[in-house]
Amino acid sequence: MKKTFLAKVKDIIEKYQLLTVGDGVVIGVSGGPDSMALLHSLAALRAEFKLKLWVVHINHCLRGEEADREAAFVEELAGSWEVSSKVYRVEVKALAQQWRCSLEEAGHRVRYQLLEDWARECGCARIAVAHHALDQAETVLENLLRGSGLQGLGGMYYGRGSIIRPLLGLTREEINAYLAENRISFCLDSSNQKPIYLRNRIRLELIPHLVGQYNPKLIQALNRMSEIIRVENDLLEDLTSEAACRCVVPEGTEPATRTEPALYPSAARAVILLIPQLLAESIAIQRRLVRRILGEIGGGLRQFSYSHIESILELATNSIGGRRVYLPGNIQGRREYNRLVIEPRAVRRKKD
């Protein structure tokens, strides 16, 4: 017998242990079809899991009255389903200029930051977002086009930290059918139909071409591939953590005295790697370890590329001391004898 949409959502929640009974859940709701299906399905499962639900909507202030109408729509509908809501208004364009990044990047950063802020405010352990199988395929293709490694090709996780994705294994067609069956209203973001962003071009142009000309089951194939890669990537991440215990040295501490997994310092401090121990690792682990450190110090990995990681590793293989490489995010790498130091660059004060 064919499973219902809700039964599939429940299966995903249980298989990936996304929720436990009594959890508080903040739901990111844009008002679009995917997030409305997520909100409705979690509200329908609320009694069974004894969930405490909150809706968070973020108005990026990029589409004028259209965005204002969406915010009002989400508030009204959430209230009709007896779910409390919180609406933020954020000038994302100004933040993009301040952070010197794209509108997409600024929107992504502020969205997850505000979701996490509100989850802490109301004591919720989980943050649910409405990514589905097509979103996963887009993510994998976008990362492939950027020359990503295994982590990027693995795409998004069903659950990672506080973030959960109960719809990730479901198709757009299944979501649309659920909305129609339950007569659930939604909004359509007009900017999603404009091929001005890479993500939109992948959705509107590349995927339809690949599905029509090469593989009609492309979405399923990419989701299956990403699932395999995520499992294998997790194994490599465990091996990288073990290597960190051997190679990463807090100031004044030799690796032989360390028994716990490596804990990376804050961006205000340096990370020191012992070069002989680092070079004893496979090149795959070396790259992963440097990449992880750059992500910790730099607050993320989007600004770093393959060439940045290789430039750090070249310091380890070149025996000339005193050399430095400069990376985005005001980060530098330098060699001191048999040690490789990755650190924020000191900010020089202007003389009065």
User: Of 199-203, 223-227, 258-262, 273-277, which range is least confident?
Assistant: 258-262
The sign of the dihedral angle between the CA atoms of 275, 280, 284, 288 is negative
User: Which residue's entry shows tokens 């070249």?
Assistant: 314
d(CA 210, CA 161): 33
State pLDDT tens for residues 84-133: 999 999 999 998 888 877 888 888 889 999 999 999 999 999 999 999 99
What average pLDDT does the segment 306-318 reach? 92
Quick check: 251 pLDDT over 60?
no
Quote the pLDDT of residue 227.
96
pLDDT of residue 302: 72
Mean pLDDT of 29-44: 97
Mean pLDDT of the 348-352 span: 43
Per residue in 256-296, pLDDT (tens digit) is: 433 333 334 444 478 999 999 999 999 999 999 999 999 88
Give the model's pLDDT for residue 249.
86
All domains of the chain in start order, with CATH: 5-230 (3.40.50.620), 248-344 (3.30.465.60)
Confidence of residue 253 (pLDDT cuts 50, 70, 90): low
Say which range, 31-45, 222-236, 327-341, has the weakest mean pLDDT.
327-341
Q: Which two tokens stand for residue 215?
A: 């593989």
Residue 149 pairs in a beta bridge with none
Q: What is the chain's mean pLDDT, rounded?
A: 89
Side by side, which strands form the sheet with 331-336?
A: 271-274, 339-344, 331-336, 324-327
Query: Please, are residues 332 and 346 in contact by the beta-carbon 8 Å criterion?
Result: no
| pLDDT reported for residue 254 | 46
- Asked if 247 and 255 touch (Cβ cutoff 8 Å), the reply is yes
Q: What is the pLDDT of residue 321?
A: 64
Backbone angles phi, psi at 90, to 5 degrees: -135, 130
Residue (of 272, 305, 163, 229) closest to 262 by Cα position = 272
The owner of tokens 């943050």 is 127
Q: How confident is the model at residue 158 (pLDDT cuts 50, 70, 90)?
A: very high
Q: Report the pLDDT value the prediction gives residue 352, as an integer from 0 to 100.
A: 41
Residue 228 confidence (pLDDT): 97
- Note the pLDDT of residue 246: 95
Q: Is 339 a residue whose pLDDT tops 50?
A: yes
Helical H segments across 81-161, by residue range: 92-99, 103-121, 133-145, 150-153
CA distance 16 to 23: 15
Q: Which of 131, 139, 129, 130 lies closest to 222, judged by CA?
A: 139
Give the model's confidence band at 351: pLDDT under 50 very low, under 70 low, under 90 confident, else very high.
very low
Residue range 130-151, pLDDT digits in tens: 999 999 999 999 999 988 889 8
Cα 314 to Cα 322: distance, rounded to the nearest angstrom? 13
* Closest-CA residue to 244 (of 296, 196, 206, 171): 296
Which string of b and e fits 297-309 if b means at least 16 CB within 10 Å? bbeebbbbeeebb
So what's the pLDDT on residue 194? Answer: 79
Choice among 156-170, 230-244, 281-295, 333-347 with the minimum mean pLDDT: 333-347
Rounded to whole angstroms, the Cα distance separating 82 from 123 reads 18
pLDDT score of 193: 79
Q: What is the pLDDT of residue 303?
A: 76
Sign of CA dihedral 157, 266, 325, 286: negative
Q: Which two tokens stand for residue 85?
A: 């809501």
Q: Which residues contact residue 150 at a Cβ distance below 8 angstroms, ignoring those fewer than 6 apart?
A: 229, 232, 233, 236
Q: What is the reported pTM? A: 0.84
Q: For 187-198, how does the pLDDT look when each residue is reduced to its tens digit (9 = 90+)?
A: 988 887 778 788
Q: How far is CA 297 from CA 48, 98, 264, 303, 332, in A?
A: 42, 20, 8, 12, 10
